[in-house]
Amino acid sequence: MDRHFLTELKKRRTFGIISHPDAGKTTLTEKLLMFGGAIQMAGAVKAKRAGRYATSDWMAIEKERGISVTTSVMKFNYSDCEINLLDTPGHQDFSEDTYRVLTAVDSALMVIDSAKGVEPQTEKLMEVCRMRNTPIMTFINKLDRDGMTPLDILGDIEDKLQIECAPLSWPIGMGKRFRGVYNLHQRQLHLFQPGGQTRHQEGIVITDLADPRLEELLGSQAEELREDVELLEGAANPFELDQYLKGSQTPVFFGSAINNFGVREMLDAFVEMAPGPMARPTTTRVVAPEEAQFSGFAFKIQANMDPAHRDRIAFVRICSGKFTRGMKVYQTRIGKQVTLANATIFMAQDRSHVDEAYPGDIIGIHNHGTISIGDTFYEKEPLSFTGIPNFAPDHFRRVRLKNPLKAKQLLKGLTQLAEEGAVQFFRPLSGNDYILGAVGILQFDVTMARLKAEYGVDADYEPVSFAAARWVTCEDKKQLALFEKEKQASLANDSQGNLTYLAPSLWRLENAMEEWPMIGFHKTRDLA
C-alpha cells in the first residue's frame, strides 16, 4: 500500500469507554472532546444519562434520534492522531448493544468511581473485553471526593476483574486533602486545582522525590507521597507495554473528570500506547489492516430516523483497505454487490459525507433494511468477520397480538427489529407463539412502541416462565434428535432458525447440561 495510506492507518485509535452508570463516562467523554477541540464547552454531549430516564423519556429521546446517532461515534483529533470514540449506551438495559460496540474497538478505557470500586456493569463489560483480549486503560475518577484507598481500589480491580494493575500515576490524598497526582512514568507532579477547565496544565518536574521542593508544594503530604512511592516500587507491577496490548495488564491513572484533572495525562498516554487498528479474524483467515482490499463489518444499526421510510443507518467498522465514496463492494450474507455511495462519517457534533476513510474509522451507511448486524463488506476475496455476538437473553415475554389479521406484519416487524439487534425472538417448536427475549426489560416496551409506530401492529406482552436461553449444538445427530424429542416442550428456533433451549429455571438448565454432556449449551452466538 502507498505511504499515505500507511500514515493514515497509523494515526487511527478506535476505542470505547466501559463503566458502570454514574462513574463519570459522560463527563470524561466531554473533557476528551474538549482536548480534541471537537467541542468548545462542557455540557455539549447530549442524549446522555439514559440510566435516569423512565421508558417514556427514553422513547422521547429516541424520537430525537439525530442526536443519539451523532453521539454514537465521536471522531476527534489529538496530537497527530485521529481518534474514534464509540459511545456505549448508558442504560444498562441496552448493554447488548454496548457489547457489540466493543467488537468494533481496538482498545477500551475503563472508568471507575473511586468511592465505589468495581461495579457490576463494569464486570460484565470486562467479560466481553476479555473474550477478545482488548487492551484496557483505567481511569480512577472522583479523587476530589473521599473514597477507597488507592491500594484498595487496585486490589478490587485485580480481584474482581482478574487483570493486573500497573499504576502510572499516584494520587496525593483524596477528598478535601486531594493535592494532585504524581506521574510515576514521567516523574512529574501535577497539582490539583478544582474546576480546571483549561487545556494546559504543565506538570512540575521532580525526578528525585527527596527534593525539598516537595515539602514546599505539598507540606506534610510530601512524606506520605514518598512512602507510597517507596511501597509501590516494591509491591506494584511495573508497566509492560506488551502485557497491556495482550489485555493482561491495565495501566492506571487517577484523577477527577469533572475538574478536568488527570485527563490530559491519560490522553497523552493513550495516543502513545493504545493500539492502532488491529488484525481481525474471519471464518477463513485473519485480515490485517494494511491489506489493500477494503473490508469491514456492521456492528450496530440505528433505525428509522424517518419512520415513514424505514431508513436505517448501519455503522460499519473498516478493517482493511481504503474506503472511497461510491466504491462497489460485496455484502457477504446476501452475496450481492452493493455501491457504498451514501456513507457518512461522524464528527462529535456533526455528520458529514465522507470521500475516504481508513481502517479504524466508522462509516454510516444508509439503507432500507438490507444490512444486518454482523454483515461483512469486502472488495474481492469473500470474507466473513467473526466474533460479533448475540447474547442469550435474561428476560422473556410472550407477545399478544391484538388484531390477528396483522400476523404477517408482526413477523416482519419482529424480524427487522431482531436483525437490528433491538430485541430477540423465539418460536417454540410446539405452538405458534412469539417469545421475546431481551438482555434488559426496557427493550420490551420499546419493541411494542416501535411495532405500533413503524409496522402498524398493535400488540402487548405477558409474562412467561422462562429463566434462561441457550443456543444448542451437537455434532452427533442422533444425540441431538434424542434431545429434541425429550425437550420438545422447551425448545424453540430463534429468528434465524437456530435451535434454542428455553429453560424454565436455572436449576433445570443446570440439570439438562449435566444430563446431556454431548450437547453444547451456548450463552453467546456469533452473528457473523
Q: Which residues bind ligand G4P (CB under 6 A)?
A: 19, 21-27, 48-49, 90, 141-142, 144-145, 256-259
Q: Which of 442, 420, 512, 517 is nearest to 502 (CA)?
A: 512
Residue 398 and residue 464 in contact, taking contact as beta carbons nearer than 8 Å: yes
Q: Which residues of 109-138 are buried (b: 16+ CB within 10 A; e: fewer)?
A: bbbbbbbbbbbebbebbbebbeebebbbbb
Nearer to ligand G4P, 26 or 103 (CB): 26
Report in angstroms how near the CB of residue 15 gets to ligand G4P at its nearest: 16
Residue 5 CB neighbour total at 10 angstroms:
17
Report in angstroms how near the CB of residue 172 gets to ligand G4P at its nearest: 16
Report in angstroms how near the CB of residue 111 gets to ligand G4P at its nearest: 7
β-strand partners of 121: none
Q: Which of 149, 219, 212 is nearest to 191 (CA)?
A: 219
Nearer to ligand G4P, 74 or 258 (CB): 258
Q: Residue 143 has which C-alpha cell?
A: 479523587
Residue 29 and residue 69 in contact, taking contact as beta carbons nearer than 8 Å: no
**In whole angstroms, how far apart are CA 347 and each of 85, 86, 169, 254, 314?**
10, 11, 31, 28, 16
Nearer to ligand G4P, 12 or 31 (CB): 31
Which residues contact residue 29 at a Cβ distance below 8 angstroms, ignoring those fewer than 6 apart? 17, 45, 74, 85, 87
Report in angstroms how near the CB of residue 438 gets to ligand G4P at its nearest: 21
Nearer to ligand G4P, 137 or 222 (CB): 137
Report in angstroms how near the CB of residue 259 gets to ligand G4P at its nearest: 6
Nearer to ligand G4P, 48 or 300 (CB): 48
Nearer to ligand G4P, 146 or 211 (CB): 146
Report in angstroms how near the CB of residue 21 gets to ligand G4P at its nearest: 4
Nearer to ligand G4P, 49 or 508 (CB): 49
Residue 254 CB neighbour total at 10 angstroms:
29
Alpha carbon distance 316, 259 (integer Å): 35
Nearer to ligand G4P, 259 or 331 (CB): 259
Q: Residue 11 has which C-alpha cell?
A: 494515526
Listed as own residue / partner, the contacts of 461-464 with beta carbons closer than 8 Å and 24 or more positions apart are: 461/397, 461/398, 461/399, 461/400, 461/436, 462/397, 462/398, 462/400, 463/397, 463/398, 464/396, 464/397, 464/398, 464/435
Nearer to ligand G4P, 99 or 178 (CB): 178
Alpha carbon distance 168, 294 (integer Å): 38
Report in angstroms how near the CB of residue 140 gets to ligand G4P at its nearest: 10
Nearer to ligand G4P, 253 or 426 (CB): 253
Instruction: List the beta strands (DSSP E) in 282-361.
Output: 286-287, 295-303, 312-320, 323-324, 327-331, 336-340, 343-346, 351-353, 356-357
Distance between terminal CA atoms of the chain?
A: 28
Q: What angle is formed at CA 495 by the lines to CA 489 and CA 500, rounded to 5 degrees?
A: 35
Report in angstroms how near the CB of residue 322 gets to ligand G4P at its nearest: 34
Q: According to the 3-state scheme, what is the secondary structure of 120-165?
A: HHHHHHHHHHHHCCCCEEEEEECCCCCCCCHHHHHHHHHHHHCCEE
Report in angstroms how near the CB of residue 45 gets to ligand G4P at its nearest: 9
Report in angstroms how near the CB of residue 30 gets to ligand G4P at its nearest: 8
Nearer to ligand G4P, 86 or 509 (CB): 86
Report in angstroms how near the CB of residue 261 gets to ligand G4P at its nearest: 7
